[in-house]
């Protein structure tokens, strides 16, 4: 006789917990996927910005860009939309200094271009 037959209740609870855990993982993407960490692949899209500047840009994102709404996934919007609309608009709303705006912009565009290269263009 298997363990499952001897402990049907425990098995049911374990199964329910496992299902819940899977749902939670599917529903919320990790912060690494939403706002990718700076790495070597990203540096080749950085247009000369240093790893330090990109890392500061990511820090600005995680600080200033989650005050009014949850962290927007960089992959959810296309490169041109970030460049032409979202970054100028939201940097103003977040009251960033010109240097913060420049570092945030370098980071987001490098991250977005890296996603394009790795996964192909996505987003609106
Ligand atoms: C003062 C509040 C505020 C701050 C700070 C803010 N946002 Fe927003 N954001 C909004 C609102 C409100 C919207 C809803 C759309 C709109 O009103 O344009 C929005 C929408 C967005 C969208 C969706 C845009 C679209 O075209 O659908 C993105 C992406 C975004 N914000 C990114 C950012 C980033 C990156 C930062 C940091 C620089 C930031 N936000 C900081 C208020 C804010």
Mutating to test ligand 1, I would choose from 35, 60, 65 the residue with most ligand atoms within 8 A of its C-beta, which is: 65
Confidence check: pLDDT of 27 > 60: no
Lowest mean pLDDT of 13-22, 41-50, 59-68, name the range.
13-22
Ligand 1 mean position, distance from CA 90 (Å)? 5
- Domain boundaries, given as residue ranges, for the chain: 1-29, 35-119
Residue 50, phi then psi, degrees to nearest 5: -80, 165
Ligand 1 mean position, distance from CA 66 (Å)? 9
| End-to-end Cα distance, the chain | 55
Ligand 1, atom 5, residue with closest C-alpha = 94
Confidence check: pLDDT of 20 > 70: no
Evaluate: CB of 94 within 6 angstroms of ligand 1: yes
Give the pLDDT confidence score for residue 118 in this predicted structure. 82
Confidence check: pLDDT of 81 > 60: yes
Task: Kindly list the distances between the CA atom of residue 99 and the CA atoms of 1, 31, 41, 88, 104, in Å, as whole numbers in the listed order.
Answer: 69, 24, 24, 13, 9
Ligand 1: which atom is nearest the Cα of residue 93? 1
Q: What is the pLDDT of residues 36-62, one digit of tens each?
A: 999 999 999 898 999 999 999 999 999
Give the pLDDT confidence score for residue 31 in this predicted structure. 87
Percent of the chain with pLDDT over 90: 63
The span from the CA of 53 to the CA of 83, in Å, is 18
The span from the CA of 67 to the CA of 119, in Å, is 29
Evaluate: CB of 38 within 6 angstroms of ligand 1: no
Give the residue, 47 or 12, on which the prediction is more confident: 47
């Amino acid at each position: 006789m298997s363990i499952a037959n001897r402990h049907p209740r425990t098995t049911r609870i374990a199964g329910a917990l496992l299902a819940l855990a899977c749902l939670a993982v599917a529903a919320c993407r990790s912060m690494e996927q939403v706002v990718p960490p700076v790495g070597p692949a990203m540096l080749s899209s950085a247009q000369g910005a240093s790893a330090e500047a990109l890392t500061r840009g990511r820090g600005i994102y995680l600080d200033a860009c989650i005050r009014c709404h949850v962290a927007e996934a960089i992959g959810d919007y296309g490169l041109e939309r970030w460049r032409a609309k979202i970054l100028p608009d939201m940097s103003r709303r977040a009251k960033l200094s010109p240097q913060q705006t420049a570092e945030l912009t370098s980071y987001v565009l490098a991250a977005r271009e890296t996603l394009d290269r790795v996964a192909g263009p996505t987003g609106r």
